[in-house]
Amino acid sequence: MEGELKVQVEEDADQTLDRRVRSRTPAALLLFTLCLTAAAALLLLFSGHTKGSGAGEDEFDLRHTLRQLSHVRAAIHLHGVHNSSVKTSVQWKAEVDQAHSQGGLRLENNEIVIPSSGLYFVYSQASFRINCNSRDPEDRSMIHLSHTVSRWSDSWGSERTDSSYHRILHSIRTACQRTARDPGQDGSWFSTVYMGAVFNLKTGDHLRTRMKEEMLQKLEDDPDNTYFGVFAL
């Protein structure tokens, strides 16, 4: 008898607990649903306010534009031509064909001017068409091609004169050895000198190129043959 009473008490307790759980479940679900509804309403209200506000759109566009500008790296690419009035260098041209400049790098008096201090990759290429044949059968001399990039910096504390430029890139290439001219052969050779390296440059630095005058007369000045450029890293 005592055992049957104990079982009956436990069954009554389980039924009571089950009724309490069932009674609380709808209330919890209702509370959760109300929370979701309120959150969705706030989200829609915020979204509608943003879309309907011209000032908000202007502010977003401004931030977007500033982010784009912050990712624009300084770069310049110049095309070189031979100009008989320029005796010591290729004449460099900007804003023609594929030449371009951005980020403050500019061409000034046939030199590239650095807008701000930092690491830059400096490069240049010069192409030549030369004649390796000679009218003198005894002439066996070599033909050497050279190209130089020099730098002047205000940080050195010197005035900008020819002697104050320091050479940073220099390349010499042997194009051919002169031989006696054979009938029916013009002896023309096409040769290219390329150089490039990374430098830590300062605000206001000037970069220029130098080449021997006799080599300038043999310059191939198609846009993709002779060029000079700098870009920030």
**Of 35, 51, 67, at which residue does a domain stop?**
67
Q: Is the model more confident about 35 or about 114?
A: 114
pLDDT given for residue 131 in this prediction: 76
25: region left, alpha or beta (phi > 0 left; psi from -120 to 50 alpha):
alpha
For the ranges 102-111, 150-159, 214-223, the lowest mean pLDDT is seen at 214-223
Same domain, 21 and 112: no
Query: Which CATH number is 188's domain given?
Result: 2.60.120.40
Segment 133-144 shows an average pLDDT of 63
Same domain, 39 and 116: no
Confidence of residue 157 (pLDDT cuts 50, 70, 90): confident
The pLDDT mean for the chain works out to 75
- Cα(31)–Cα(196) distance, integer angstroms: 69
Confidence of residue 21 (pLDDT cuts 50, 70, 90): very low
Burial class for 230, CB neighbours closer than 10 Å (0-12, 13-18, 19+) = buried
- Cα(110)–Cα(76) distance, integer angstroms: 13
Share of the chain above pLDDT 70, in %: 61
Residue numbers of the domain that contains 29: 2-67
Where does 53-155 have alpha helices with state H?
54-70
Q: Cα(first)–Cα(last) distance of the chain, in Å?
A: 93
**Of 10, 38, 67, at which residue does a domain stop?**
67
pLDDT at 3 over 70: no
pLDDT given for residue 223 in this prediction: 76
- Cα(33)–Cα(40) distance, integer angstroms: 11
Segment 44-68 shows an average pLDDT of 52
**Of 67, 82, 98, at which residue does a domain stop?**
67
Same domain, 33 and 98: no
Segment 38-49 shows an average pLDDT of 48
Same domain, 166 and 62: no
CB-based contact 75:57 (threshold 8 Å): no
Segment 95-114 shows an average pLDDT of 93
pLDDT at 51 over 90: no
β 179-180/133-134 pair status? parallel
- The answer to whether the Cα torsion of 207, 212, 213, 219 is positive or negative is negative
Total domains present in the chain: 2
Q: Is the model more confident about 183 or about 180?
A: 180
pLDDT given for residue 7 in this prediction: 40
- Cα(206)–Cα(92) distance, integer angstroms: 14
Query: Per-residue pLDDT tens for 189-215?
Result: 778 899 999 999 999 999 999 998 888
Same domain, 220 and 129: yes
